[in-house]
Amino acid sequence: MDPIFELFLAMPTRDSRKLLRALHHQLRAAIVNGRLQPGLRLPATRKLATLAGVSRNTAVAAYELLQSQGYIHIRPGAGAFVTEQDSQPIRRSPTISDSNADSRLVSFWRNPPSLPAPFQPPYRFDFRIGLSDQSFFPFQVWQRLLVRSQRSLSKTSTFYSDPQGQPALRKMIASHVSITRAVAVQEHDIVVTAGTQQALDLLARILVTAGHTTVAFEDPGYEPARIAFAAAGANVVTVPVDKNGIIVDNIPPETHIIYVTPSHQFPLGHMMSVARRIALLNFAQSHDAVIIEDDYDSEFRYKSSPHDALQSIDHNGSVFYLGTFSKSLFPSLRIGFVLTPPWARDALVAAKRFSDWHSPILEQETLAAFIAESHLARHIRKMRKVYGERRTALTRAIKRHCSDLLAPIPVDCGLHLTALVKGNLMAATIAAEAEEIGIGLYSLNRYPIAGNGQNGFAFGLGMIRAEQIDVAINHLAEVMRHA
Amino acid sequence: MDPIFELFLAMPTRDSRKLLRALHHQLRAAIVNGRLQPGLRLPATRKLATLAGVSRNTAVAAYELLQSQGYIHIRPGAGAFVTEQDSQPIRRSPTISDSNADSRLVSFWRNPPSLPAPFQPPYRFDFRIGLSDQSFFPFQVWQRLLVRSQRSLSKTSTFYSDPQGQPALRKMIASHVSITRAVAVQEHDIVVTAGTQQALDLLARILVTAGHTTVAFEDPGYEPARIAFAAAGANVVTVPVDKNGIIVDNIPPETHIIYVTPSHQFPLGHMMSVARRIALLNFAQSHDAVIIEDDYDSEFRYKSSPHDALQSIDHNGSVFYLGTFSKSLFPSLRIGFVLTPPWARDALVAAKRFSDWHSPILEQETLAAFIAESHLARHIRKMRKVYGERRTALTRAIKRHCSDLLAPIPVDCGLHLTALVKGNLMAATIAAEAEEIGIGLYSLNRYPIAGNGQNGFAFGLGMIRAEQIDVAINHLAEVMRHA
């Protein structure tokens, strides 16, 4: 009999703030007084929501709250567990056994890692991150090029295609990157991938020897990247970041791979300082390590001159530069790329060949034409302006309505802005309450790699209109004041 | 100084048959008399061709000939080596070190596995395999559906998509497979993949523990599948096939995974007998092993009733059924699927999520509509007739022109027909000579997994017109008689 059942004797009336607090208090009390034993697996948030008669997000928030206070651990793919004295660091790769798991599966995949469920739109005020605003995208142009590419493809036998990517696209990416990021590169240095996730996966294959390779990872950081390395059997160690980026002095000497987001640290938003970049490159050179530079959204920069990419100031062939078109075009396209140092090219192309042969040709050819006819450059210029206005509106609104509650982290580029909570309010709680009144907003608790992450919000700029922002932040401020 | 240089003192006039023989004899002589030492790495075929002033395919044929006679080993990605007394089985995963290899790479990928270079079209007579005839494909219909799907996609924010595949497509695949293959399946059992190669790769991830898992593999068989398992660190053991399919009694008891092509053994073409299917399923059940059933081209069947798929007669949840649309539509689409037993579904979907998140939406939605509007069923019916006529023409032509030289293997379905060479002629030699006179034809030497493979040809039916076949086979017969 599930011990959780007994807990819900009296839940208050339908008011999300009260519900969350009641749920949180009852769970915490049950843990403290031992009714919920250490190590006990708590029900899934969906089930908890049903049991408690609250929304899914309220249940999620209750768990995030308890986790942030150290009462429970959330282990990806395994569930939430009441904390034990000798507890493991939170959210490491799932290795605990599961009665349901089938012994024919590799242990890593018996409890598949998972990510927090995305909030469900629509929202009156949508601050979800990772989305770009497609309402500005020239779909008519895209469609015309799509049809043209399809026509020419239908005339040729497309049996064999280059796993490295269509030459036309690699050529265009090379010129695009050399312009947007001042990265010197030629088409033969580029490997086209199914977005950044496949780029990370392929690099993990060719660089990670299971049980041997150590990967240094930003904390907080981008969980899907961590999972790609963990799945390959890497020993992922987390390294804290400060306002200058990953703290190089904290990178273990035995590190083989360092994953960083220097242009726009995910999720905090800092840009890595030049000094830190040089220190990082020196570390890589002196330790024979490689750096994976994930440049996921830096085309959208608000300062005229961005810092040089690590790749462009590296003289040691130690940097893999990752780019994606998910932000500048749309995520469903699934096209990204790796700029690879020459010593790894053949291996990377072979890994691509034997993982999925090659990416679909139609999108590659269409994108090549889209870049060739300057539509991409034009669209990015347009969106820089759009997202820039939103960023300005957001920083102004925070200043106006809740500068005492939120401290925005200055950001030079990218599609989201992060603000840390001042004082004792729990961002996870606020986010859940904000969601109940139509504000879609992610708390940083969603992005811990180890420990509790940070107490703040990541405001996405992709879905909210500039003119909505002031009102939205005003509402958010009210929620925070009444919490 | 490359010892190979000294060899080419006198090469005869430009006649491909004489060139091949001269090249083969000189290399063999040099190996026999010790001028080319055991273990010596021979130059790449491209270089050999230049050195000897012969075509690339002649050089390839010379090496295949020497390999088939045991003078040399060809190791994928490593090159050709003069055979040593204590030589390893040919074409195992490349592990030999290479001075160029970078120590930062995982050992498996330092000498990336490679495949024989595809012959270069155009040919007067094109018997290359793995291609489907796109001239019959209704591209206008496809384009209309493509545009429609693009339109509706442009109206929706496509941030989050299901790694398992678009529900609409999985639903359509379920009904399609239940009709074409009498495989009982529902949409939640289907995982959409980037073609068969990714299906194999994802299965290798969730089923193969490096250094521990044994995979039984058909010999001769489909090399790209072998590489997917080898790359995951599996111990791949080859098991011979006979006319009834893989010889179950030869499968090692410690086997965890068995990869088979029961509908149309690749490349020989046999259909696995019912008795053998039952024996295989019993082996899997009694040894707690899983079966991967690669049903790569069985939609194109010439008999009214195909054997049941292993998946449909399995009661133990031990079969993964792999399907692809590369043959029924076109390969550049990169869409395939896995019917997974329930115990592996979550793991497989998670592996997909963290390898490339999901496959591109546009193709998925377009294909879903293409199936829903019966275009796929119609196209397959049409192509069955087309390929059936070609198969008939081919068997007739062989009977008429070279029944004394070639023994076709009866085939019930699929896009190619295999014929074994009677007598001592080397198929590799003939294929190279045939290519010089405009016949694109692969010898079975291209598909050995261990040992020498078989001595014969795989005639692709995808690119040759029925009315060309008699002439082509007549020419081929002449080549064989003059060899």
pLDDT digits (tens, 9 = 90+) for B126-144: 999 888 898 999 999 999 9
Quick one: pLDDT at residue B399? 97
Judge whether A358 lies within some domain.
yes
Residue among A9, A88, A28, A4 nearest A426 (CA): A28
CB-nearest to B158 from A106, A194, A330 is: A330
Contact between B40 and B78 under an 8 Å Cβ cutoff? The reply is: no
Nearest to A445 by CA among A423, A420, A477: A420
Q: Could you count the other beta carbons within 10 Å of the beta carbon of residue A211?
A: 10
Q: β-pairing, B72-75 with B41-42? A: unpaired
Q: How many helices (H) and strands (E) in chain A?
A: 15, 17
Going by pLDDT thresholds of 50, 70 and 90, the confidence category of residue B111 is: confident
> Which residues fall within 8 angstroms of residue A58, CB to CB, at 6 or more apart?
A16, A19, A20, A23, A49, A52, A432, A436
Q: Which of A195, A346, A363 sits opposite B112 (nearest CB)?
A: A346
Is residue B160's pLDDT more than 70?
no
Least confident of A70-84, A238-252, A292-306, B22-36: B22-36
- Co-location of B360 and B398 in the same domain: no
- The DSSP call for residue A444 is G
A2, pLDDT greater than 50? no
| pLDDT tens-digit map of A153-206 | 888 765 668 999 999 999 999 999 887 777 778 999 999 999 999 999 999 999
Highest mean pLDDT among A425-429, B71-75, B171-175, B305-309: B171-175
Beta-carbon contacts below 8 Å between A and B: 215
pLDDT of residue A146: 96
Interface test with B, best of A143, A226, A346, A354 (most B CBs within 10 A): A354
Is B453 within 8 Å of B439 (Cβ atoms)?
A: no
pLDDT attached to residue B86: 38
The verdict on A297 touching B (C-beta cutoff 8 Å) is no
A254 to chain B, any CB pair closer than 8 A? The answer is no
| Average pLDDT score over residue span B185-189 | 92
The residue among B353, B375, B397 that closes a domain is: B375
Task: Compute the average pLDDT of residues A257-277.
Answer: 93
Closest CA of chain B from A431, distance in Å: 20
- At residue A279, the pLDDT reads 95
The answer on A385 and A356 residing in a single domain is no
Query: Which sign, positive or negative, has the C-alpha torsion A132, A135, A136, A142?
Result: positive
> Which is more confident, A80 or A386?
A386
The β-bridge partners of A80 are: A42, A74
> Above pLDDT 70, what percent of chain B?
88
Of the pLDDT bands very low, low, confident and very high (cuts 50, 70, 90), residue B469 is: very high
Q: In whole angstroms, what is the distance from residue B116 CA to residue B445 CA?
A: 10
DSSP B303-366: SSSPPPPHHHH-SSS-EEEEEESTTTT-GGG--EEEE--HHHHHHHHHHHHHHHSS--HHHHHH
Question: Could you tell me the two tokens for A55?
Answer: 């929304």
* A352 in Cβ contact with A193 (< 8 Å): yes
Inform me whether the C-beta atom of residue A152 falls under 8 Å from chain B C-beta atoms: no
Where do we find the tokens 């519900």? Answer: A19
Least confident span in A209-213, A370-374, B72-76, B168-172: B72-76
How far, in Å, CA of A425 to CA of A421, rounded? Answer: 7
| Per-chain mean pLDDT for chain B | 86
Name which of A223-232, A274-283, B94-103, B108-117 the model is least confident about: B94-103
Contact (Cβ atoms closer than 8 angstroms) between residue A480 and residue A433: no
Per-residue pLDDT at B172 exceeds 90: yes
A160 touches chain B (CB under 8 A): yes
Tell me whether residue A108 is in a domain: no
pLDDT of residue B79: 84
| Residue B224, domain member (yes or no) | yes
d(CA B270, CA A354): 26
User: What sign has the CA pseudo-torsion A392, A395, A400, A401?
Assistant: positive
Asked if B325 and B427 sit in the same domain, the reply is no
- How much of chain B, in percent, has pLDDT values that exceed 90? 57
| CATH label of the domain that carries residue B355 | 3.40.640.10
**Shared domain check, B455 and B316:** no
The four Cα atoms A38, A39, A40, A41 give a dihedral, to 10 degrees, of 140
pLDDT at position A90? 30
Lowest mean pLDDT, pick from A216-230, A413-427, B75-89, B447-461? B75-89
- For a pLDDT cut of 70, what percent of chain A falls above it? 88
How crowded is the C-beta side of B481, counted as CA atoms within 13 Å? 10
Q: What is the pLDDT of residue A93?
A: 31
Would you say residue B307 has pLDDT above 80? Answer: no
Q: SS3 of B77, please?
A: coil
Q: Report the alpha-carbon distance of residue B445 to residue B68 in Å, rounded.
A: 8
Q: What confidence score (pLDDT) does residue A389 get?
A: 95
Nearest-Cα residue of chain A relative to residue B197: A356
Beta strands A336-339; B214-219: pairing state? unpaired
Predicted pLDDT at B97: 37
Chain B interface test: which of A100, A102, A104 (most B C-beta within 10 Å)? A104
Give the mean model confidence (pLDDT) for residues A117-137.
84
Domain of residue B400 covers 125-132+378-482
Q: Is there a contact between B108 and B93 (Cβ–Cβ < 8 Å)?
A: yes
Give me the DSSP letters along B174-222.
HHHHHHHS-----GGGEEEESHHHHHHHHHHHHHPPTTT-EEEEEES--
Pair B363, B435 in one domain = no
Contact B168, B365 (CB under 8 A): yes
Averaged pLDDT for residues B116-122: 71
Checking if the pLDDT of B417 tops 90, the result is: yes
- The answer to whether B147 contacts chain A (CB < 8 Å) is yes
Measure the CA–CA gap between B329 and B172, rounded to whole angstroms: 15
Cα dihedral sign for B215, B219, B222, B223? positive
What's the gap in Å between the CA of A104 and the closest CA on chain B? 6
Residue B452's pLDDT is what?
52
Give residues 403 to 462 of B whose Cβ lies within 8 Å of A: none
Would you say residue A97 has pLDDT above 50?
Answer: no
Q: Does A106 touch chain B (CB under 8 A)?
A: yes
Q: What is the pLDDT of residue A381?
A: 92
Question: Helix (H, G, I), strand (E, B), or coil: what is residue A219?
Answer: strand
> What pTM was computed for the model?
0.81
Do residues A339 and A251 share a domain?
yes
Mean pLDDT, to the nearest integer, of B82-105? 49
Alpha helices by DSSP H, listed for B72-190, are 107-110, 139-154, 167-180
The packing angle between helices B167-180 and B375-402, to 10°, is 40
**Which residues, including other chains, have CB under 8 Å from residue B80's CB and lie 6 or more apart?**
B41, B42, B45, B63, B66, B67, B72, B73, B74
Q: Tens digits of per-residue pLDDT, B230-260? A: 999 999 999 999 999 999 999 999 999 999 9
Contacts of B1 (CB under 8 A, 6+ apart): none
Amino acid residing at A159: F
Helix, strand, coil fractions of chain A, as percent rounded to 5: 45, 15, 40
- Please give the backbone phi and psi of residue B211, each rounded to the nearest 5 degrees, phi first: 75, 0
φ/ψ (deg, to 5) at A286: -75, -25
Q: What is the pLDDT of residues A39-93, one digit of tens each?
A: 888 888 888 887 777 888 888 888 887 776 667 888 877 888 887 643 333 332 3
Mean pLDDT for the stretch of residues B329-338: 90
Beta sheet of B257-260, edge-to-edge order: B190-193, B336-339, B319-324, B290-294, B257-260, B214-219, B235-242, B245-246
- Work out how many domains chain A is built from and give that number: 3
Max mean pLDDT among A172-186, A261-275, B61-75 falls in A261-275
Q: How far is B414 from chain A (nearest CA, A)?
A: 17
Chain B residues closer than 8 Å to A461 by CB = none
Do B222 and B268 fall within a single domain?
A: yes
Q: Say what the ipTM of the complex is.
A: 0.80
Of B375, B409, B424, the last residue of a domain is: B375
- Given pLDDT bands bounded at 50, 70 and 90, which one contains residue A327? confident
Question: pLDDT at position A11, please?
Answer: 53
In a domain, residue B390? The reply is yes
pLDDT band at B101 (very low <50, low <70, confident <90, very high): low
Mean pLDDT of the region A347-375: 95
Give me the residues paired with residue A440 across strands: A126
**Given this model, what pLDDT does residue A96 score?**
35
What per-residue confidence (pLDDT) applies to A39? 80
Rounded to whole angstroms, the Cα distance separating A252 from A293 reads 18
Beta-strand ranges (E) seen in A230-289 are 235-242, 245-246, 257-260
Residue A283 and residue B230: Cα distance in Å, rounded? Answer: 33
Residue type, A442: Y
**Is B298 within 8 Å of B263 (Cβ atoms)?**
yes
Residue B107 lies in a domain: no
- Residue B5 in this model has a pLDDT that exceeds 60: no
- Choose the weakest-confidence range: A159-173, A436-450, B276-290, B381-395: A436-450
Instruction: Tell me the CATH number at A48.
Output: 1.10.10.10
Tokens of B328: 């029924």
Q: Which residue has the higher pLDDT, A34 or A285?
A: A285
Query: In whole angstroms, how far apart are CA B6 and each of A412, A455, B71?
Result: 64, 73, 19
Residue B96 resides in a domain: no
Report the pLDDT value the prediction gives residue A119, as an integer from 0 to 100.
66
pLDDT, mean of residues A114-126:
79
Q: What confidence category does residue B91 fall into, taking pLDDT thresholds of 50, 70 and 90?
A: very low
Closest approach of B128 to chain A, Cα-based (Å) = 10
**What pLDDT, on the 0 to 100 scale, is given for residue B7?**
42
Q: Is the pLDDT of residue B94 over 50?
A: no
Q: Does residue A299 share a domain with residue A197?
A: yes
Examine the domain organization and report whether B323 and B422 are in the same domain: no
Cα–Cα distance, B343 to A109 (Å, whole number): 11
Q: Which residue has the higher pLDDT, A404 or A100?
A: A404
- Do the domain assignments include residue A110? no
Average per-residue pLDDT for chain A = 86
Range of weakest confidence among A97-101, A262-266, B268-272, B469-473: A97-101
> Which residues of chain A make contact with B355, given a CB cutoff of 8 A?
197-198, 201, 228, 355
Q: Which of B157, B332, B463 lies nearest to residue A360, judging by beta carbons?
A: B332
Does A390 lie in the same domain as A370? no
Tell me which H or E stretch contains A218: strand A214-219
Q: Quick check: B58 pLDDT over 70?
A: yes
- Give the pLDDT of residue B2: 44
* Residue of B153, B348, B356 to mutate for A, most A C-beta atoms under 10 A: B356
Query: Which residues neighbour B431 within 8 Å (Cβ) at sequence distance 6 or greater?
Result: B61, B441, B442, B443, B457
pLDDT average, residue stretch B314-338:
91
- Judge if B354 and B420 occupy the same domain: no
Residue B471: CATH number of its domain: 3.90.1150.10
DSSP designation for A301: B
DSSP 3-state of A20: helix
Please tell me the predicted confidence (pLDDT) of residue B456. Answer: 93
Give yes or no: residues B202 and B269 share one domain: yes
Residues near B258 by beta carbon (within 8 Å), at least 6 away in sequence: B215, B216, B246, B251, B280, B283, B284, B289, B290, B291, B292
Q: Give the pLDDT mean for B364-369.
A: 97
Cβ-defined contact of B363 to A359 (cutoff 8 Å): no
Q: Which tokens hold the place of A268?
A: 């905090």
Q: Which two tokens stand for residue B318?
A: 């031990």
Domain annotation covers residue B163: yes
Residue B347: predicted pLDDT: 94
Tokens of B72: 């040399």
Q: Which of A13-22, A366-375, B64-73 has the highest mean pLDDT?
A: A366-375
**Rg of chain B over all Cα atoms, to the nearest angstrom:** 23
What span, in angstroms and rounded, lies between the C-alpha atoms of A265 and A249? Answer: 18
Closest Cα in chain A, distance from residue B207 (Å): 5
Chain position carrying tokens 């696995």: B272
